[in-house]
Structure 1
Amino acid sequence: MAVKILITGAGGPAAICAYKALKDKGYDFFMADMDPLATGLYFVEPAKRFVIPGGVKPEFNQAILRLCEEQQIDILIPTVDVELIPLMRIKGAFDAIGCRMVSCSEDVLYTILDKLRLMEKCSGIVLLPEFQSLEEYLINPQISSKKLVFKPRSGSGSRGIIITSSPERNVLEKLKMENYMVQEFIGGTEYSIDLMLNEDGSVAAAVVRERLKIDSGVVIASRTIKNKRIQDYCIKIAQAVGVTYGVNIQVIVDDSGNPYLLEINPRFSGGLSLVVESGPNIPAMCVEHALSGKPIPYVDYKELAMVRYYEEIYMSGSELIKHNKVSSTEEA
C-alpha cells in the first residue's frame, strides 16, 4: 500500500513546491487548506481534498489529528507557520496513530518563531546585527547604528517592518504594545538558504539562493549560487538552534561579504522547486528520513537559475465545491 501524505496550506507556494517534488514518488496524496479555492486542493481527487479550520483556531490541531486518524495518514507535512506549534504540541497523539510529522520540535519552533529569542540563541555563535527588545531600547538604547530596523518578533517577510534613522517616541510606544524588537540596519544583498537536517543534527542539504524578483512575497526569479561562507554560517545557526527536517534561513550579506541573520522559516520555502531541480530533493529526503529514521547523506547542488509562470487547472464549475469539510468533532 502506498504511503499516505497529507500536505496542509495547499494554496501556498510551499505546499505546491512540496507536492511537485513528491508527486512522482508513488505516494498517495491528500491536500488540506482553510480556503475551498486553494489551488493545491485540486491536484487530487475530490475525496482527498479537505477544508480545515485555520491554524489559529483552537480546534485546529484536533481536527487535523482526527483527519489523519480517519484517513490513516503516514506523513503530515504542515507548510504554514501558525500551524506548526499547535500540531507539535500534540505530537504524542500523532505518534500514537502512526503519523509522522515533518517539522522541528516544539521547543525549537518557539525559538525560531520569536525573532528576538532566535537572535539571543545565536548570540556568540555567529555574527549578528546589534539588537535589543523594544522595551530595553526605550529604557537604555545600546545599538550604535543610526539607521534602525523595528520589526515584529513574530511573523515572516517584511510585514510591519519600519526602517528609520529618526524614530518618533510616540510611535515606538505604540509598537511596544505590539511586541516589537529593534536591530541595526544592515545594507546588502538578501539570500535564502534551504536546508535539510537529520534528527541527529547532521546536514543533508544546504542550498544558497539569490532571490532576483519577488511578487507579493513569492519569488518568481531566482538562482542558486555556490558560497561556502554563507552556507557555513547558516549551518552553524541551524545546528545551534536544533532545527530538523526542511527549513529556510534568510540572511543579508554586506559589502564585505559578511552574512547576517534575518529570520528562519521552520518549513519548506516557496522557492523550493529551484532547489529540487539543482540537486537535493528536500521534501523527498524529509519523507524518507521520517519513514526510515535513518540519516540522509549530504546531497550537493549545482548552480542554476529559474523564472516562473502561471499554470492553470481546468475543471467543470461544479468541481470547485467538491471537497470535505473537517472539524474536530464527530458531528461535522
Structure 2
Amino acid sequence: MRVWFNRGFSTVHTAIDLIRQADVDERFTIIHSNPNPRTPAARLAHAFHTEPTGLATADYIDWCAGFCREHRIDIFVPGREATAIAGAQARFEAAGTRVLSAASEPHLQLIHDKARFYAETALPVAPVAEFRHFEDAAGFEAAYDFLRRRHAKLCVKPAHSIYGLGFAVLDEERNSAELLMAGAEYHVSLADFRAGLARLETFRSMLLMEYLEGREYSVDCVGDNGRLVTAVVRRKSNQAGAGQRIDQRADILEATAQLCATHGLNGMFNVQFREAAGKPRLLEINPRMSGGIGMACVAGPNLPYIALRGFADGYESLEIPAVRDGIRVAELSRAVELT
C-alpha cells in the first residue's frame, strides 16, 4: 500500500522510522513531501517529492488531490492543512485515497479553539483548569479580578497555539529584567504584561487560567473512530536529564478514553494533563503525534505502525504489545550528514 505523509511536524521523521522498523513484510511504501528537500524525513521515506509553497488552503487541497491521483496514494496521513483536508475526505475517497484524519473537521476546529474546547468539555475525572477568555485590556482586568480571588497563581496562553507558544505564568513580584536575569522561563511580569496590553488596540484571543502546580503527563494514543485502542502515559520530570516515567494511571487512561469517544478520535493523537492537589486536570488534545512519540514507543507498542496497520486492515488481527509500566525513558539526539 502506498502511504503519503505530507509536510507536517518534525515527528514525521520518527513516525516513518518506526513504521519501517515494524513493517518487516514491507507492506507499506512510504512517500513523503516537504518544501524543504533536505528535511531529515526525506532520507527515510521510500520516495520524496517537493511541495509547493504559498498556496491558499483551497489551492493546496487541489494540489493534494492531484498528488494522490498522480502517485496512486492508498492512504493519506495529513499534517499540513489537516483540518481542512478532514473536511474534504469524500473528494479523496472518490479518487481511491483514504484519509487518516485524527477527527472530523468540526471536532478538529473545536479542539484547536481552546476557549471553546474548555467551555464545552465536561470531564469530571480530569476537569479543565478554571479560565476566563479575553480579547482586550478591559477583558483581562475583569478576568484577573475574578480569578485572582480564587487562585494564588495565574497564567496566560493564546486560544490558538501549538507547542505551548505564548504560554506564560504571571509573576506579580518581578519585572521583565529581573525575570530575564533569573532565567525564569515561561514567566512574564504582571505589571509589564498589563502595560503592554494597554498599548495594544487589538490582539489575538487569549485565555487567563489558574496555574496548575503539579506534575505533567503526556499520553500518546491510537484511536479507532472513538475507541481508544492503546495509550502510553508519560510522566514528565522537573529535573533536567532525568527522562520520563511510564505511568499508566487509571484515572488518566479513563479520561483519555472518554475524550477519544467524545471527539471520535482516530489514528494517532496526544492528550496533555497536569496535576493539581494530586488530581489530573486536562490541558489539551493534540490531534497529531507528539514530540515524545519515540519515547512512548520504547514502552512497547509501536504506535505509528499500529495506527497505520489498524486503519489499513482493521485492528482485530493486530497483536498490540502490553505497555511496560514503570520504566524510565529518554530521547537522545544524534548528528547526521544531510545530502
| Alignment TM class, shorter chain as reference | 0.7 to 0.9
CA distance in 1, matches of 2:211, 2:334: 38
Provide the residue aligned with 1:192 in structure 2: 218
Q: CA deviation at 1:149?
A: 1.2
2:278 maps to 1:277:
no
Larger mean CA deviation between 220-229 and 60-69 belongs to 220-229
Higher relative contact order (CA 8 A, sep 6+): 1
Provide the residue aligned with 2:159 in structure 1: 153
CA deviation string 1:97-141 (max 9, x = no partner): 121222221111101111112212213544221111114554465
CA distance in 2, matches of 1:223, 1:71: 42
Provide the residue aligned with 1:70 in structure 2: 70
Aligned with 1:205 (options 230, 233, 244): 230
Q: CA deviation at 1:54?
A: 5.3
Q: CA deviation at 1:73?
A: 0.9
Residue type of the partner of 1:133? H
Residue type of the partner of 1:269? S
Provide the residue aligned with 1:306 in structure 2: 329
CA distance in 2, matches of 1:55, 1:5: 24
Provide the residue aligned with 1:250 in structure 2: 272
CA deviation string 1:26-65 (max 9, x = no partner): 11111112222211012235xx212214598433222222
Task: Note if contact 1:192-1:249 (Cα within 8 Å) is conserved in structure 2.
Answer: yes
Sort the Cα spacing of 1:257 and 1:175 in 2 relative to 1 into closer, same or farther, 3 A: farther
TM-score (norm 1): 0.81
Residue type of the partner of 1:192? S
Query: Between Structure 1 and Structure 2, how many residues are aligned?
Result: 304
Aligned with 2:88 (options 78, 87, 90): 90
Provide the residue aligned with 1:329 in structure 2: none
CA distance in 2, matches of 1:39, 1:155: 25
Provide the residue aligned with 2:108 in structure 1: 109
Provide the residue aligned with 1:49 in structure 2: 48
Q: What pairs with 1:1-332 in structure 2 (closer than 5 Å)?
A: 3-9=1-7, 12-24=9-21, 25=23, 26=26, 27-44=28-45, 48-53=47-52, 57-58=56-57, 59-80=59-80, 83-103=81-101, 104-123=103-122, 125=124, 126-135=126-135, 137-139=140-142, 141-143=145-147, 144-166=150-172, 167-168=190-191, 169-172=194-197, 174=200, 177-199=203-225, 201-212=226-237, 221-254=243-276, 256-293=277-314, 300-303=322-325, 304-314=327-337, 320=339
Residue type of the partner of 2:6? T
Residue type of the partner of 1:157? Y
CA distance in 2, matches of 1:89, 1:220: 42
Task: Note if contact 1:7-1:77 (Cα within 8 Å) is conserved in structure 2.
Answer: yes
Larger mean CA deviation between 289-298 and 149-158 belongs to 289-298
TM-score (norm 2): 0.79
5+ long unaligned stretches in structure 1: 321-332
CA distance in 2, matches of 1:257, 1:148: 18
5+ long unaligned stretches in structure 2: 173-189
- CA-based RMSD: 2.9
Q: CA deviation at 1:298?
A: 6.9
Larger mean CA deviation between 62-71 and 105-114 belongs to 62-71
Sort the Cα spacing of 1:253 and 1:55 in 2 relative to 1 into closer, same or farther, 3 A: farther
Q: CA deviation at 1:287?
A: 1.5
Larger mean CA deviation between 233-242 and 88-97 belongs to 233-242
CA distance in 2, matches of 1:298, 1:61: 34
Q: CA deviation at 1:187?
A: 0.5
CA deviation string 1:260-293 (max 9, x = no partner): 1112110112221222232222222222232235
CA deviation string 1:67-119 (max 9, x = no partner): 12111111112245xx2112213211111112122222111110111111221
CA deviation string 1:295-325 (max 9, x = no partner): 678753113333333345557xxxx4xxxxx
Task: Note if contact 1:52-1:60 (Cα within 8 Å) is conserved in structure 2.
Answer: no
CA distance in 2, matches of 1:220, 1:28: 37
CA distance in 1, matches of 2:91, 2:123: 37
Q: CA deviation at 1:192?
A: 0.5
Task: Note if contact 1:101-1:290 (Cα within 8 Å) is conserved in structure 2.
Answer: no
